[in-house]
Structure 1
Amino acid sequence: MTDAVCLPALYRLLTFVSPAFPIGAFTYSHGLEQVIDEGGVACAADLSAWLEDILRFGAGRGDAILLKETWRAALAGSRETVEELRDLGLALQPSKERHLESSAQGTAFFNAVAKSWTPPGETAAGALFRSFAEGDREPWPYPVALGLVAAAHAIPEKAAVTAFLHAFTANIISVAVRAVPLGQSDGQGVLAGLEPVVFDVADEAVASGLDDLGTSTFLADIASMAHETQYSRLFRS
């Protein structure tokens, strides 16, 4: 299994995780808006510490494992396993808003790919994606949808996991840039500082299995619950 990415696969990966891809990622804060409102994140150092915990012990790591497991199931052409991972990805969400965050983005992502990006060649993963696209209308958790699409488009597993974690991190940083507010330079500094964390989490996710799923970011989960009743909100989660 190689980590090398050919140019067509790289082109598709850059497209799929781009902030311009039409899934509405910019409208979700993963509970961070509530944390900022309560004063828990007020500067770049606070943001870096909060995000590192989310990546290592929260949804970052968990979603990366789900993506990887879906990628492997899709490569094997196992529809049943992908369906089980889809259900699991939705069931693991700790709050109503986090369920919306993952399912709305994942379903929008799947539908956008189905309409515009036909998987190349005749592979088991490509055939599986097309079978879902032709008649399945169930909601998709975002990492499971991305894992299926990455396999269907011959995007290597490690590259897909790393790009997913980078995009997740960059999107949450953009929330803080707008809501703290932080300067763009501070935001980029946080992203640069978290590079080794993203690589560590990607390595761990690739080496982990479903038995390793689990989170311990209780404050972030509680923040996502409290955000549902926050008086003034810019974000949907």
Structure 2
Amino acid sequence: MSSLLALMRLASPALPVGGFSYSDGLEAAVDAGEVSDETSALHWLLQQLQLTQQRAELPLVAAAFQAWQAGDVERITALNDWVMQTRETRELRLQTEQMGRSLSDWLRQRQPGDERVAALRALKPAPAWAVAFALAGVHSGAPLAEVLQCSGFAWAENMVQAALKAVPLGQSAGQRLLDALTAALPGTALAALVLAEQGDAARQSFAPMFAILSARHEAQYSRLFRS
């Protein structure tokens, strides 16, 4: 399989990891009145792309990608621990654990002889999603910059689908949202790569309102999504 097709598969909503069941705080933002239409949804998603994906998730994928290439399990364990320590709510931690486990099982079925897959599955309390995605990216054979864009696009497509249901929005509005997020992704991936090259101290997980909304979502009376 070509690296392009492998990345398309990883970004597909058909990848059996359950990404469609999460809204990454968007549903709570709708409930709080922060997101109510296409314009506010675009603002919210672009802000989240910059604050959480560019500064934390994608630099983490980059660091884990390089560690998997080097076979450095000690480094992978430290990165996985960082993810668990920076999930600010229970539901965000459960999300990364559930999706990480699902992707690690998917990898086990396709790469049964790879010792790195066994190391991934042995991570405690569970493989984090970003760490698992990084290993899947290594297996794709694609360069790191393209793996980062793939990871970002997978997030963007799931978030747009969440916006269609939660706001709600029509399909045309959803395509406009995806156009805007896709246009921002190359720059986001490049910035994340630069951040990763600066070392662990440059990576940060700090989005207070996002954390507050996620905490509220855990007790939200009526909801469609698990986060």
CA RMSD in angstroms comes to 1.8
Quote the residue 1:136 is aligned against: 122
Runs of 4+ in 1 over 4 A off after TM superposition: none
User: What is the percent sequence identity of the aligned residues?
Assistant: 29
- Counterpart in 1 of 2:140? 153
Which SS does the other structure have where 2:127 is aligned? Answer: coil
Structure 2 residue 171 is the aligned partner of structure 1 residue 192: no
Unmatched 5+ stretches in structure 1: 1-6, 120-125
Code of the aligned partner of 2:188: V
Q: Which moved more, 1:147-156 or 1:63-72?
A: 147-156
Structure 2: runs of 5 or more not aligned: none
Structure 1 residue 96 corresponds to structure 2 residue 90: yes
Distance 1:56 1:137, change over 3 A: closer
Task: Report how many aligned residue pairs link the two structures.
Answer: 223
1:202-217 equivalences under 5 Å are: 202-209=189-196, 210-217=200-207
TM-score normalised by length of structure 1: 0.88
8 A contact 1:173–1:191 mirrored in 2: yes
**Pairing 1:1-237 to 2, within 5 Å after superposition:** 8-115=2-109, 117-118=110-111, 127-132=114-119, 136=122, 138=124, 139-209=126-196, 210-237=200-227
Structure 1 contact 129–152 (Cα < 8 Å) conserved: no
TM-score normalised per structure 2: 0.92
Q: Map Cα deviations across residues 103-131 of structure 1 (whole Å, 9 max, x no partner).
A: 1111111111211x228xxxxxx844244
Which residue of the partner structure matches residue 4 of structure 1?
none
Give the C-alpha shift of residue 202 in structure 1. Answer: 0.2
Residues in 1 aligned to 2:166 and 2:68: alpha-carbon distance in whole angstroms: 38
Cα distance in structure 2, aligned partners of 1:193 and 1:130: 35
